[in-house]
Amino acid sequence: MAVVNHNLPRLLPAFEALADLGNEMTADRDFITRAETMLARTMQALDAREGALFIHSDRPAMLTSVAAFGFALFPQSAVIPLLPKNVRALNHSQPMVLAGTHERYFSANGNVPPGVFQCVAPLRVNAKLVGAVTLGRRNAEGGYDEADLATLGMLAQPIAMAVQNHVLAHTLEHRIAENLRLLAGLHSMYDHTLEAFATAIDAKDAFTRGHSLRVGRYAAAVGEAMGLDPAQVTGLRAAGYLHDVGKVNVDKHLFKKPGALERIEFQEMADHTVMGHQIVAGVEFPWPQIPEVVRSHHERADGSGYPDHLHESEMPLAVRVVALADSFDAMTSERSYRQPLSLGETLTHIVRSTPGKFDAEAVQALLVQLRRDATRKDSGAAFLEPSVPMTVAPRDLDQLAADLNFRINNARAYSA
């Protein structure tokens, strides 16, 4: 390496600068601050009064400054378009003095005249041009000699790595943002498709019409009041829409039967969970909880549900939320064998069945949403579907919340 020609007094500052630049590469600061520090350190090591650090971009080929010191009238962001011959020359050159050879390396079409640079060090990583350091006049009289260029070549390596890291991170950020945008588009498309699907699932029977749509909306709102993040809330809505997908295989006469179902009929109805699971298990949804919700939304915390008799600790959060939303909608809707329960009756029943059957946090969140509705003065979006009359007062809801708390604390005391 050319540094063996340096004498020790000149070599030492170069090594010190190199150590500093190594630290800068991984410094936890924004890139512009790092670029300025790296350029200042390089200029100090070479006793340069003027200097600039550029990033190279491919399409279109050009250099854009990210740091510059000392030049008079240097633009905030200097841009130098590169011709193919310029890129080739920069790609195959070591640091050099630019005595009358500027146009080999830079076009004159930029907003800074290349003539102000006295030497240039192309920045490369794995033979790929990532940028350039250019130096202008020095503090003392005189130009740059071979030893200076060797030092510059040494310092250029960590700077090139830092620039490359920045460009990669930038590209990655861009890619992630782009993917998120696509994903968001995909989610809204899914949402609309699933809404149509939910409508189709319940279309068989007048009594269950709209059930899946309402369960999806209730489940999402309960999740929201539980403080879940937006992706989980969207997943709950989708899972609610699809939870009864297995009913497409159930004989439609069973939905219309006025009395209780025979054992065999009940089994056919109950099998919609397993059938539904078979339908969705092979589908790659953006929300992984859908198949488990489809299979397990009739499970109950005390193990009395079906098809797997899971207990509370075995039931994922999404299952517990959709199970509650499903029961809430079923109770407040008319069925072939009974009139709808009033809101008060429904809530009393749900609170009495918690924590034995339902998830206490989900029930609390349900009461929070209903209390918002009961005290709402504006015409904003309500939690409760218009088909269900709001017949409970805020103080009734407070009493239900107090009863719920009592039951949860008692359950804890007994199980302790």
Is the CB of 273 or the CB of 354 nearer to Fe ion? 273
Indicate the DSSP class of residue 313: G
Is the CB of 124 or the CB of 297 nearer to Fe ion? 297
Give the pairing type, strands 62-69 and 79-81. Answer: antiparallel
Q: ω into residue 355 within 30 of 0, thus cis?
A: yes
* Nearest residue to 275 (alpha-carbon basis) of 297, 300, 250, 299: 250
Contacts of 237 (CB under 8 A, 6+ apart): 191, 216, 217, 219, 220
Is the CB of 278 or the CB of 399 nearer to Fe ion? 278
- Rounded to a whole number of angstroms, the minimum distance from the CB of residue 247 to Fe ion is 7
Helix, strand and coil percent figures for the chain, each rounded to 5: 55, 10, 35
- Rounded to a whole number of angstroms, the minimum distance from the CB of residue 318 to Fe ion is 14
Work out the burial of residue 238: count CB atoms within 10 Å of its CB; fewer than 13 is exposed, 13-18 middle, 19 or more buried: buried
- Rounded to a whole number of angstroms, the minimum distance from the CB of residue 231 to Fe ion is 24
Is the CB of 24 or the CB of 299 nearer to Fe ion? 299
Give the burial string for 33-42 (b: 16+ CB within 10 Å, else e): ebbbbbbbbb
The helix or strand, by DSSP H or E, that contains position 77, with its residue range, turns out to be none
* Nearest residue to 318 (alpha-carbon basis) of 183, 211, 216, 201: 216
**What does the alpha-carbon distance between residue 62 and residue 157 come to, in Å, rounded to a whole number?**
20
**What does the alpha-carbon distance between residue 262 and residue 260 come to, in Å, rounded to a whole number?**
7
Is the CB of 6 or the CB of 298 nearer to Fe ion? 298
Work out the burial of residue 120: count CB atoms within 10 Å of its CB; fewer than 13 is exposed, 13-18 middle, 19 or more buried: buried
Question: How is 198-236 classified by DSSP, letter by letter?
Answer: HHHHHTT-TTTTTHHHHHHHHHHHHHHHTT--HHHHHHH
Is the CB of 202 or the CB of 244 nearer to Fe ion? 244
Is the CB of 244 or the CB of 299 nearer to Fe ion? 244
Cβ contact 340:328 at 8 Å: no
- Rounded to a whole number of angstroms, the minimum distance from the CB of residue 288 to Fe ion is 20
Is the CB of 96 or the CB of 242 nearer to Fe ion? 242
- Rounded to a whole number of angstroms, the minimum distance from the CB of residue 60 to Fe ion is 59
- Rounded to a whole number of angstroms, the minimum distance from the CB of residue 276 to Fe ion is 8
- Rounded to a whole number of angstroms, the minimum distance from the CB of residue 298 to Fe ion is 6
- Rounded to a whole number of angstroms, the minimum distance from the CB of residue 215 to Fe ion is 9
Is the CB of 38 or the CB of 294 nearer to Fe ion? 294
- Rounded to a whole number of angstroms, the minimum distance from the CB of residue 214 to Fe ion is 13
- Rounded to a whole number of angstroms, the minimum distance from the CB of residue 334 to Fe ion is 17
What is the three-class DSSP state of 366?
A: helix
Long-range contacts of 62-68 (CB under 8 A, 24+ apart): 62/110, 63/106, 63/110, 63/131, 63/132, 65/112, 66/31, 66/32, 66/35, 67/32, 67/35, 67/36, 67/38, 67/39, 68/39
- Rounded to a whole number of angstroms, the minimum distance from the CB of residue 168 to Fe ion is 49
Cβ contact 106:145 at 8 Å: no
Looking at residues 59 to 78 of the shown chain, list those that interact with Fe ion (rule: CB under 5 A): none
Is the CB of 293 or the CB of 360 nearer to Fe ion? 293
Is the CB of 124 or the CB of 272 nearer to Fe ion? 272
Looking at residues 223 to 252 of the shown chain, list those that interact with Fe ion (rule: CB under 5 A): 244
Select the residue whose beta carbon is closest to Fe ion and give its number: 244
Under the binding rule (CB under 5 A), the answer on residue 299 touching Fe ion is: no
Residues contributing to the site for Fe ion (CB under 5 A): 244
